[in-house]
Amino acid sequence: MTDQTPFESGAGTSVSPSASEQTASAAPPARPRVLALANQKGGVGKTTTAINLGTALAAIGERVLILDLDPQGNASTGLGIDRKSRRVSTYHVLAGEASLSAAVVETVVPRLHVAPSTLDLLGLELEIAHQRNRAYRLRLAIEGLAGTMGDDPFTYVLIDCPPSLNLLTINALTASDAVLVPLQCEFFALEGLSQLLKTVDQVRSTLNPRLSIHGIVLTMFDPRNNLSGQVVADVRQFMGNKVYETMIPRNVRVSEAPSHGKPVLLYDLKCSGSQAYLKLASEVIQRERVLRAA
Ligand SMILES: Nc1ncnc2c1ncn2[C@@H]1O[C@H](COP(=O)(O)OP(=O)(O)OP(=O)(O)O)[C@@H](O)[C@H]1O
Ligand SMILES: [Mg+2]
């Protein structure tokens, strides 16, 4: 473990100026950019990417909210929020029992907050199945956040989705500007991607016309494994420049960090996983600039 943190070391200075700095002299953005981390396949790196991309964006100067929309609550746990302290959760927000700002808690990472989840979320789908606004609940909650954060509004909201294309994920897609898809470098990587892309198209044509694909991030890449290289080539051929240049390597430090309740960037800043997430954050911000300029 290293004592150095990305907040002391000037990590991320390769991205200069940050999106926040860039807008510091202009009017602050009225609403955060909302990105859903989605893939109905389990265990592909959605939560790991939410935590560590969120941390890397915060290290660069962004104000980030991670919204835990998975009943498993892994993003909340990985950020050190124990179950007892999750008094107001995303369940309460989506059930209409609390505002999103009431659910937001600080993390050990400066500028990074989380709205935690609990197992209650498992029952939500049935509870709101007959409500007319059932797909818009998260979007309304995020819109309600804008006026409540004072002089320090969030610039990014990252939504950690469950491994399913259920109503929770539909709420996330309806609330988002763009989807970021973690894809594990394994043999069946592309399986299921077309179903996800079809769902994104459906949401775009019905519930949320502004929804776009931000990018696909290849996770758990292992350069010693020939298959990993082949998967990368296939995905890049199929999805072209939608695939980020940055790949997240398979790195044991990344998988150890959550059991310490810390992002890997705080657990071991120098490891290859941390460095990859810092690079990914700078790529995400560069894409944002292009999108904003368009
Ligand atoms: N780059 C990496 N190197 C090593 N292990 C990793 C890496 N990324 C993720 N993991 C490990 O792989 C497992 C699955 O990752 P993660 O929980 O982020 O996936 P997920 O898509 O959120 O899963 P679920 O679909 O269950 O929500 C975890 O044990 C995590 O620690
Ligand atoms: Mg997860």
Q: Is 159 in contact with 169 (CB distance < 8 Å)?
A: no
Closest ligand by atom to 254 CA: 1
0.85 surpassed by pTM: yes
- Alpha carbon nearest to ligand 1 atom 28, residue: 255
User: Could you say which DSSP state residue 176 is in?
Assistant: -
Structure tokens at 250: 């398979």
The CB of 275 under 6 Å from ligand 1? The reply is no
**Model pLDDT for residues 219-233, shown as the tens digit of each residue:** 999 989 888 889 999
Query: Does 9 have pLDDT greater than 70?
Result: no
CATH architecture of the domain covering 29-293: 3-Layer(aba) Sandwich (3.40)
- Residue 260's alpha-carbon distances to 80, 82, 255, in angstroms, are 7, 12, 10
Instruction: Work out the pLDDT band at 192, boundaries 50, 70, 90.
Output: confident
Report the pLDDT value the prediction gives residue 257, as an integer from 0 to 100: 97
Phi, psi angles (nearest 5°) of residue 187: -55, -40
For the CA of 163, the nearest atom of ligand 1: 25
Summarize the confidence of residues 134-149 as an average pLDDT. Answer: 88
Q: Is 139 in contact with 106 (CB distance < 8 Å)?
A: no
Q: Is 185 in contact with 222 (CB distance < 8 Å)?
A: yes
Instruction: Work out the pLDDT band at 117, boundaries 50, 70, 90.
Output: very high
Structure tokens at 288: 């944002």
Instruction: Work out the pLDDT band at 44, boundaries 50, 70, 90.
Output: very high
**Model pLDDT for residues 249-263, shown as the tens digit of each residue:** 999 999 999 999 999
